[in-house]
Amino acid sequence: MSSGQQGSVPGRRSVLRGSLAASAALALPAVGAAPALALSGRPRAEWGVQTGDVDAHSGLVWVRSDRPARMIVETSASESFRRTHTWHGPLLGPGSDFTGTTRLRGLPAGEQIHYRVTLADPEDPRRTGRPITGTFRTAPERRHQDVRFVWSGDIAGQGWGINPELGGYRVFEEMRRRHPDFFLCSGDTVYADGPLQPTVTLPDGRIWRNVTTEEKAKVAETLAEFRGTFRYNLLDENLRRFNAEVPSIVQWDDHEVRNNWYPGQTLDDVRYTEKNVDVLAARARQAFGEYFPISTLPGGRDEGRVHRVVRHGPLLDVFVLDMRTYRNANSPNRQTDDPVGILGAEQLAWLKRELSRSRAVWKVIASDMPLGLVVADGAVNFEAVAQGDPGAPLGRELQIAELLRYIKHQRITGTLWLTADVHYTSAQHYDPSRAAFKDFAPFWEFVSGPLAAGGFPAVKLDGTFGPEQSFVKAPTRANVSPAESPQYFGEVDIDGGSGELTVRLREDTGAVLFTKVLQPGRVGQ
């Protein structure tokens, strides 16, 4: 373990030249300037482009039009686009809020792919808008190629939105400079339950100024309001530039719908006229699938799921969990039998099966909530896995105990847990020698965030699985603004030669706060 040492950017990464960055930036609106919805002319793609769920030979490309249009994607090995392959995508219309994704297949492994998206008038294909360009790197097929990715979560929460006076979401620019192969967004991608005010007075008298929109003036209830909430973050030019160069793997948590929600919940929040959280969740899920390129949620349709495996070559598989859709109700969490838990029985079986099938050196379990951190929901209920009782597993801990036992007995190597949610950064090592439940192999859990939200004090640890906190950095009071406290992201490097995995917890300036190096081929670390 060491701190304060920054890793160098691997030389094998293709550093984008100015022409690509300039073309992406010029085609997009400035921070706070909503794209004009012109009534005539050619289709325009002013919300940028994104790629998602990229593996060795495929990936998804996303765009939004300002009117009905046909999506056309061209790919090339160079940004000159001298030789291209054309992909004819979907017709974008009001049914998907004019968003759409095109799946690219048959791509070369471990290569930089340049792409451009053109929108064509469906009535006259010769009438096209200005192409928007981007790039991404496919996963390697051979182990010798290094892997780097970043992760974090929590965007535009607690009343802190895009502040042009602070440069907007600056942390995305810092993450872009690290040239990651992909970005793992660990949930709370938006705050549908968090309206934004034009100004907020900070404790020291300074004024925080938010970019505001009509949809962000209240909690999201209608499909249009949820769509507007997801659209809001794309007003930030740092995020759009990042999206054009870094593929994403996205999961959701609670704030895409409403704070601490669970299926079957009836709200007593006076801000909502729609009290059935299942209705709200269905609308949020549709908008979520429309505004992110997710392979298992095509076009935002009801069928499909959030949990999935994204395989990034022989060194890494990412297991994306969904701790919202299948969980039981929040409660004191002390029941002695809990077959539903936080994952649901089917998702738990899926996770066991996929972990057993994985041949990757490292298996990142992307969890939208932490395991041993005590996250409360009111005075007596609990929101995550732990409930503060350091004894034998109870409630949702029973399901996690079953999973950890399975990993040990199946001798599944190279697992580590990455999460966000609690709005600070920390590193926890779990060890049976310190635990009430002992039938598991040691493992690490790393927490990072928020990206652009309020910071909160550290919560307590639950001793059931024996966590020991090696590092924590958190504010001392609740809801500290991004103007007063750093925002955080994590970075993971996997060495293609040795297989070593290095985790760095970073501030939004890029400064390294904590470093941990893990060795491959072990059941526990």
Q: pLDDT digits over 95-145, tens only?
A: 999 999 999 999 999 999 999 999 999 999 899 999 999 999 999 999 899
Rounded distance between C-alpha atoms, residue 168 and residue 40, angstroms: 31
Residue 161: CB partners within 8 Å, gap ≥ 6?
196, 210, 211, 212, 216, 232, 452
Q: Cα separation of 69 and 29, whole Å?
A: 20
CATH code: domain of residue 61: 2.60.40.380
What CATH number does the domain containing 223 carry?
Answer: 3.60.21.70
Domain boundary among 111, 138, 165: 138
**Residues 167-195 pLDDT 10s:** 999 999 999 999 999 999 999 999 999 99
What whole-number distance in Å separates Cα of residue 92 and Cα of residue 468?
Answer: 50
Domain boundary among 138, 155, 181: 138
Burial degree of 77 (CB within 10 A; 0-12, 13-18, 19+): middle
Provide CB contacts within 8 A for 86, sequence distance 6+: 72, 73, 74
Read off the pLDDT of residues 19-66 as tens digits, 9 standing for 90 and up: 334 334 334 444 434 444 443 589 999 999 999 999 999 999 999 999
Residue 341 domain-assigned (yes or no): yes
88 and 220 housed in the same domain: no
DSSP symbol at 96: G
**Residue 467 pLDDT exceeds 60:** yes
Neighbouring C-beta atoms of residue 243, cutoff 10 Å: 26
pLDDT tens-place string over residues 219-278: 999 999 999 999 999 999 999 999 999 999 999 999 999 999 999 999 999 999 999 999
Residues 102 and 199 in one domain: no
What is the DSSP annotation of 223-279? HHHHHHHHHHGGG-HHHHHHHHHS-EEE---STTTSTT--TT-B---TT-S--BHHH
What is the spatial distance between Cα 308 and Cα 293, in angstroms, rounded to a whole number? 13
Domain extent for 325? 147-518
Cis amide linkage into residue 482, ω under 30° from 0: no
* Alpha-carbon gap, residue 465 to 501, rounded angstroms: 23
The strands making up 308-311's β-sheet, listed across from edge to edge, are 308-311, 316-320, 362-366, 415-419, 443-447, 425-430, 467-473
Q: pTM of the entire structure?
A: 0.92
Q: At what angle do helices 223-232 and 277-291 cross, to 10 degrees?
A: 40
Q: Does residue 13 sit within a domain?
A: no
Cβ neighbours of residue 205 closer than 8 Å, sequence gap 6 or more: none
**455, β-bridge pairs:** 480
Helices (H) and strands (E) in the chain, counts: 7, 25
One domain, residues 409 and 514 = yes
Per residue in 145-172, pLDDT (tens digit) is 999 999 999 999 999 999 999 999 999 9
Does residue 121 sit in the same domain as residue 188? no
Task: Based on the fold, state whether residues 103 and 219 are members of the same structural domain.
Answer: no
Of 523, 419, 429, 424, nearest in space to 467 by CA? 429
Asked if the model's pLDDT at residue 3 lies above 50, the reply is no
Whether residues 63 and 112 fall in one domain: yes
Answer yes or no: do 119 and 184 share one domain. Answer: no
In total, how many domains does the chain have?
A: 2
Residue linked to tokens 């069928």: 303
The pLDDT assigned to 521 comes to 86
Q: How many CA atoms lie within 13 A of 309 on its CB side?
A: 19
Indicate whether 476 belongs to any domain.
yes
Please give the backbone phi and psi of residue 69, each rounded to the nearest 5 degrees, phi first: -160, 155
Q: Are 490 and 418 in contact (CB under 8 A)?
A: yes
Instruction: Return the structure tokens found at 399.
Output: 């399901």
Q: What are the beta bridge partners of residue 108?
A: none
Instruction: Return the structure tokens found at 415.
Output: 């697992």
Residues 323 and 427 in one domain: yes
Residue 12 has pLDDT above 70, yes or no: no
The answer to whether residues 213 and 225 touch, using CB atoms and an 8 Å cutoff, is no
